[in-house]
Structure 1
Amino acid sequence: MSEFFGPWTKKGEDDEEVVEETVETYTTTTTRTQIPSKSSSTKTTTMTTPAKLFGRELSTYDEVDVDELLAKLSQEELTMLAKEVDPDDNFLPPSQRNNYDCEKDPTGPLNRKKLIEHINKQALETPDRPEVKPYVAGVVRGKKWIPPPQPEKMRDADEQISIDLGDEYEQALTTASQEEIIDLAAILGFHSMMNQDQYHASLLNKGQPVGLGWDGITKATKPKVYPMDPPNDTDPDDTITRVQQNDQKLTDLNWNNIKNISDEKFEKLFEALKGNTQLEVLSLVNVGLNDRTAALLSDALRVNSGLRVVNVETNFISPAGVLQLLRALADTHTVEEFRASNQRSQVLGNKIEMEITSLVEQNPTLLRLGLHLEYSDARHRIASHLQRNIDRIRQQRRSQNSA
């Protein structure tokens, strides 16, 4: 067995060995030199030294009691040790996990407002750092960012994207006129590709005006000006008198949008309706009807036998008042159209809508109903019943005409 001489030199009888040293790994290379006729071989051996702490191996500290060592330290030594150690413990507050330690005594409780004011004051009093290069309008300071070039593979892929529509579609689109392409765009739903005139012309199946092709600019068309509706100049007192007299020429009574109609006039009108047989259309839109006046109207509808259309939209009738009016229509069986939407309460409720549906299904003469119903079941049942009433009346008219 060979022996070690010197720091890292190994010698043998016929051997010449060189040992190379690294930081923690020592590699021994042995080269054996023999006569020229024989081959030479190289042998490599690797040895790794264990990690050490203060000249001792870490395994020697396994049995050391850390709590006993900490108990022997003084308060100053513990403070110094706490500044050197950064514990990775999320349960400790941040003030105990960093090296900063404020030794100042507290001056009082925390006042957030004063603290923010102090920070703002310090920020305003602190002078700005001088600029290395002064600002000049239109001159870029520093290095201007230039986007990197697109990779060749992606660029080639974008250039090679094409849609193969087939020979028939390619030929059809190539020979299609502008009007045909516009119609095709309207069918496919490409409305954003057309301006308004092109879109409406394609719906109406008309040719495009001159200068409004695909290169045309979408321009807003001027809205059509409609004349304002003239104010309602109907005299309520005069119409009440004519209703009381059962005037044959008064078949349509329109009090729409007349303001400040007193309850006394409504009472006189509804009392006169009980004995009137000539009036067919009653329009009381936006006249301020409430539950009290609606109750008087429902009493008149139970007795009246000439009204066919009743319109009380845009008033202040509650859902219970609307339900009371529909009960009156179920008793008279003469009104064909009833409208009462846009009242004080926009939502009738499930219970009221089901009662309205039941009353409409019991009415054989009602053909049109103007009410906003929230539930689809009520809408479907009412629409089906009204359609059956319309079909039955149409069959009756056909049978009468054939007879």
Structure 2
Amino acid sequence: MEFFQEWDDTETETETTTTTTTVKKTSTKTTTTTMTTPAKLYGKDLSQYDDIDVDELLNKLTAEEVNILAKEVDPDDTFLPPSQRTSYECDKDPTGPLNRKQLIEHINKEALETPDRPEAQPYVAGVVRGKKWIPPPPSQTIQDADEKIAVDLGDEYEQALSTATQEEIIDLAAILGFHSMMNQDQYHASLLNKGQPVGMGWDGITKASKPKIFPVDPPNMTDTEESIRRVEDDDSKLIDLNWNNIKNIGDEKFDRLFAALANNTHLETLSLVNTGLHDRHAEKLAQVVEQNNTLRVLNVETNFISPQGVVRLVKALLKKCSIEEFRATNQRSQVLGNKIEMEITQLIEKNPTILRLGLHLEYNDARHRIATHLQRNIDTKRREVRARYQITLGKLGEKLKIVQTA
């Protein structure tokens, strides 16, 4: 069945205070309803102005009247720019281009030269000026809700609770599901069946345990220039270099450090945590890792390295296979993605020397495969150390026999 809708084009007579409804039935037995409501402004009917020629009225206005009429606009009209929605217009000519520095100096000067408003009553410490605000008393409903509700438990339960010890009351609270009302010390003590000290039993149910205050870590006072010079000189005593949490390290210092690391033969641990490393630094660091043979631990956590930069560093570990621990968590992108994690997993599985990896992996497959491979490398390392230890013991035994026979 098809439906056709027709609108009544006939003229409808309306009054100011009434609404006329016209109903017409079509051949398909559908009903069309047309409602006509006269437009009003401040309670007056605007239909009497329909036959007036607006252009003719505008031609009769003077320039001043047209300007006044143009200012009467709707401030909420989004079709007009904000500069045209306001009735304020500045008739003064500009004195020149805007000078922000001079404007701020003028504002500060006016603020300093303008005297403060005199106070009717001078300020005196401890004296309240004016009327002190007193909060109104709470309503009767709130007072009734705050009152304690007395529950009659009966003589038997009252006697049992009055003679119960603190340990028994804590166990009863755990049975009834009130363990969330106890603090952590009380809860663990009830589980371990330990006695409660004074103030930590049922009477101390609303008392929180005091937080432990740990001293603030001192700032890293490592001299970057001195450490770079020692790396360049291949200082044999410099085995661990820690630049953690040092702010505002320039690119020039990073370039010098990475260039010196390429030929260094003594540095084993490099920590660059929270130093503002980006992908450009990660690329240069990866090139250094591919050339250095002595570096064992590399830590670049809490920086701005992208997932592709992390993959580049992991790939660089395969060149010399000397690094045993690599950490790169808490970077710019917390989630690496399935593709990146699988690529890192394949690279780690090809590395026979990596023993520890600090990366946040989201997928179980990547975590399981990497954990299995790291455990395999650890077992291999343990067997090698044990073999070397047995060889050393054998050599010492031979030397002892030689000494004894001599």
Q: Which of 216, 238, 251 lines up with 1:250 in the alignment? A: 238
For the 8 Å contact 1:186–1:203, the answer to whether it is kept is no
2:258 is the counterpart of 1:270: yes
Q: Unaligned stretches of 5+ in structure 1?
A: 1-82, 84-88, 96-103, 114-136, 141-158, 160-175
> Residue 177 and residue 239 in structure 1: after superposition, are their counterparts in 2 closer, same or farther (change >3 A)?
same
Q: How does 1:139-158 map to 2 (within 5 A)?
A: none
Query: Aligned residue for 1:300?
Result: 288
Question: Alignment partner of 2:344: what SS?
Answer: helix
2:301 is the counterpart of 1:288: no
Larger Rg: 1
Q: Unaligned stretches of 5+ in structure 2?
A: 1-20, 22-29, 37-44, 51-73, 75-136, 141-151, 153-163, 392-406
For the 8 Å contact 1:196–1:218, the answer to whether it is kept is no
TM-score under structure 1 normalisation? Answer: 0.54
2:365 is the counterpart of 1:363: no
2:366 is the counterpart of 1:388: no
RMSD: 4.4
Cα offsets for 1:227-246 (capped at 9, x unmatched): 21111111111001111122
Cα distance between partner residues in 2 of 1:353 and 1:259: 30
Query: Aligned residue for 1:352?
Result: 340
Displacement after TM superposition at 1:195 (Å): 2.5
For the 8 Å contact 2:303–2:330, the answer to whether it is kept is yes
Q: How does 1:175-214 map to 2 (within 5 A)?
A: 179=167, 191-202=179-190, 206-214=194-202
Cα distance between partner residues in 2 of 1:294 and 1:396: 32
Cα offsets for 1:128-183 (capped at 9, x unmatched): xxxxxxxxx9999xxxxxxxxxxxxxxxxxx9xxxxxxxxxxxxxxxx98558857
AA in 1 matched with 2:202: W
Query: Aligned residue for 1:42?
Result: none
For the 8 Å contact 2:231–2:261, the answer to whether it is kept is yes
Question: Alignment partner of 1:369: what SS?
Answer: strand
> Residue 218 and residue 362 in structure 1: after superposition, are their counterparts in 2 closer, same or farther (change >3 A)?
same
2:322 is the counterpart of 1:334: yes
Displacement after TM superposition at 1:350 (Å): 1.8
Q: How does 1:118-157 map to 2 (within 5 A)?
A: none
Question: Alignment partner of 1:253: what SS?
Answer: strand
Cα distance between partner residues in 1 of 2:317 and 2:139: 82
Identical positions, percent: 65
> Residue 282 and residue 182 in structure 1: after superposition, are their counterparts in 2 closer, same or farther (change >3 A)?
farther
Displacement after TM superposition at 1:387 (Å): 2.1
Number of residue pairs matched by the alignment:
262
For the 8 Å contact 1:323–1:352, the answer to whether it is kept is yes
Cα distance between partner residues in 1 of 2:175 and 2:389: 43
Q: Which of 219, 237, 242 lines up with 1:231 in the alignment? A: 219
Cα distance between partner residues in 1 of 2:175 and 2:270: 45
Cα distance between partner residues in 2 of 1:228 and 1:354: 39
For the 8 Å contact 1:243–1:269, the answer to whether it is kept is yes
AA in 1 matched with 2:280: R
> Residue 217 and residue 184 in structure 1: after superposition, are their counterparts in 2 closer, same or farther (change >3 A)?
closer
Cα distance between partner residues in 1 of 2:246 and 2:333: 22
Cα distance between partner residues in 2 of 1:184 and 1:395: 55
AA in 2 matched with 1:392: T
Q: How does 1:26-37 map to 2 (within 5 A)?
A: none
